[in-house]
Chains A and B, each alone.
Chain A
Amino acid sequence: MRPTERTEKSVKKLRYKPSAEVHNRVLTNVMQALEKREKHKSAEVQPSIWRIIMKSKITKFAAAAAIIMAALIAFHFVGNPFGAAVTFAKVIQPILNARTIVLDLVVGSEETGLVVHDIVVGSKIRRTLPNMGHAIIDLDNARLLRLDPLDKSAVYINIQGPFQKWAKNYLGLVRDIVADMENHPEWPVQELGQRWIDGQRAVGFLLSGPKIKLTIWADAETAVPIRIEILTGRSQTIIKNIEFDVPVDESLVSMDIPDGYTLHEKELDYTDFNEQDFIIVLQFWAEHILGGNFPDSVSGEDILKVAPVLRQKIDQLNISDEEKMQLGMAMGRGFMFFRQLEMSGADWHYVGKGVEFGDANTAVFLYRPKSSANYRVIYGDLSVKDAAPSDLPK
């Protein structure tokens, strides 16, 4: 150890502690100051939630856009049929080689899940979500164009963060996954036999990776995939109605602005999505949508369904456009935080059913951060505590 480091270490050891008497005395005086302040407070000013949100570069366009963008983008964690890139080469050939793919993504269960429609042309995707319009996503350039036919607005978004990092090149990424799977012979591929799917006789394969279960059903005669089921943790996505190399009007994935649309170009920064953003989603969901109760469940399906409602509620708030924007951005990042947890196979549990907002004693959500031995536990009052696995709330 260098002399400077030794001296630093010595100084760092100089830690002081208050006696119990000092602790109680100072804390009592501080609390008295708080009571005094409250007595003299003229009017109750509820600080806006947006104050705790980091400032972004976006200033004008509405919060709705931010939420919808997040919902659209979040699907890149599951939205492309990356999962089909399994080692049984014949089945994945169409996915690797097709220039155009049209498909439906069902987020959640087949009966209740939300259906997202994708048209994939090369590295571009036209993605349509119910009640949220559509966007054209340019994976190569990490750029997104959203067109809103209602107000004829167009928004170009340069997307920062994981989207850019993980989905830069669609086909390249698929090939990377194939290569990765080939490097893991321990990931078993199980033949599931035959089954009738949508009137077609299909052959199934199940790939079990450490964090993902991928089931591909392919036409028994042509080996063309007709249904792909992805299970990550407890999150299920189904890809169906798949068509490869069908003729597609290129204008559908054009990044050009149609005539009559007003253009805004903004930078959407999802680099730093984190727990706090997700807490804001939970709070807003409980306070403004469910009358003070946390939702019965939280999943990708739930979030996609609630996103348009959140958008409406934010629009109704008596705050400035800037504040709405900040709030929308935070919620978008909150979606990203949750989706990443969900899709990375992290150990997380939502236990907020029946819990009232403000309940400091009941856990709502808990998860174990990557590389951490302990869990983060979010309580009904939105406080967060670390807990060892043995100390988790029942």
Chain B
Amino acid sequence: MLEDSILVWRFKRGSKEALCRIYEKYESDLLTLAANLLSEPNTAEDVLQEVFVRFVESIDKFELRGSLKAYLATCVANRCRDCTRKSQRHRTIAIDEAAQTVSDENTPVQLVINSEELQSVSRALIELPYEQREVVVLHLHGDLKFKAIAELQQVTIKTVQSRYRYGLNKLRSILNGEVNPVRKSTKNGVATQHKYNSKRDF
């Protein structure tokens, strides 16, 4: 936090190195955030770039009032929501395909620990309603408190807490094979249904 204040201050004074350090410090966290929020993790790269470009463009007016990570995480969340709205209108990529691309070692955005179990978690996360997914991901990966998420989602803290609880419960149910995903994705034009390892203890 202290270091961030100094980095922002130096960046405001024109230090490119400070910007680089901010980027490198939060690149992975923000990419993780975006990849988990989006149904197509590889678009996380675009979100990351847009957020940082806007940060650069608005740095003169920017004042750090709290955590820089929380600020950038909020920017990522806003951008991801826009992307999700658009993709819902023009949905062309199948969820299975998206998750599969993550598991490919040659893809631009990769899981740090690429296991079958985590791929299942990733697929299950995408099955959550977006508001619930956003709460779960922002809380667990963006380190945002429920209060901050409530402000972002413009709902009460209780609603956020409920979304978090429902989100985790649903995730667990999906991963334990208790709930079949309702949504179907298309791959090569053929509707498919996700398969999860049943009775895995999550």
Contacts and interface: CB of A to CB of B under 8 A. Distances in A.
**B and A form one assembly:** yes
B118 A22 contact: no
A279 B6 contact: yes
B141 interface: yes
A14 B56 contact: no
Contact of B113 (A3, A13, A26, A276): A13
B175 A7 contact: yes
Nearest to A17: B112
A46 B110 contact: no
B60 interface: yes
Max chain B CB contacts within 10 Å: which of A12, A18, A23?
A: A18
Given A14-B32, A30-B52, A360-B17, A383 B136 contact: no
A184 interface: no
Max chain B CB contacts within 10 Å: which of A12, A14, A25, A384?
A: A14
Contacts of B117: 10
A100 to B, nearest CB: 43
A315 to B, nearest CB: 22
Given A51-B63, A384-B2, A27 B140 contact: no
A233 B154 CA distance: 52
Nearest to A278: B2
B107 A16 contact: no
Contact of A19 (B110, B113, B137, B172): B110
Given A49-B9, A279-B6, A15 B111 contact: yes
> Looking at chain A's contact residues, is the secondary structure mostly helix, strand, loop, or mixed?
helix
B180 to A, nearest CB: 18
A150 interface: no
A4 interface: yes
B24 to A, nearest CB: 8
Contacts of A13: 113, 118, 121
B131 interface: no
Interface stretch (B43-51, B75-83, B88-96): B43-51
A256 to B, nearest CB: 40
B44 A11 contact: no
Interface string A32-57: 01100110000001110101100000
A360 B201 CA distance: 51
Interface string B1-36: 011011111101111111111011001100110011
> Looking at chain B's contact residues, is the secondary structure mostly helix, strand, loop, or mixed?
helix
Given A30-B52, A33-B56, A383-B10, A14 B168 contact: no
Contact of B13 (A6, A7, A47, A360): A47
Interface residues of A, number: 43
B110 A12 contact: no
B125 interface: yes
A279 to B, nearest CB: 6
Nearest to B54: A33
Contacts of B140: 8, 11-12
A28 B60 CA distance: 21
Contacts of B64: 52
A18 B45 contact: yes
Given A30-B56, A33-B56, A276-B6, A16 B168 contact: no
Interface of A: 3-4, 6-8, 10-19, 21-23, 25-27, 29-31, 33-34, 37-38, 45-47, 49, 51-52, 274-276, 279, 360, 381-384
18 contacts: A4-B172, A7-B168, A7-B202, A10-B171, A14-B141, A16-B28, A16-B44, A17-B31, A18-B109, A30-B56, A31-B20, A34-B56, A45-B60, A47-B12, A51-B9, A360-B17, A382-B10, A384-B3
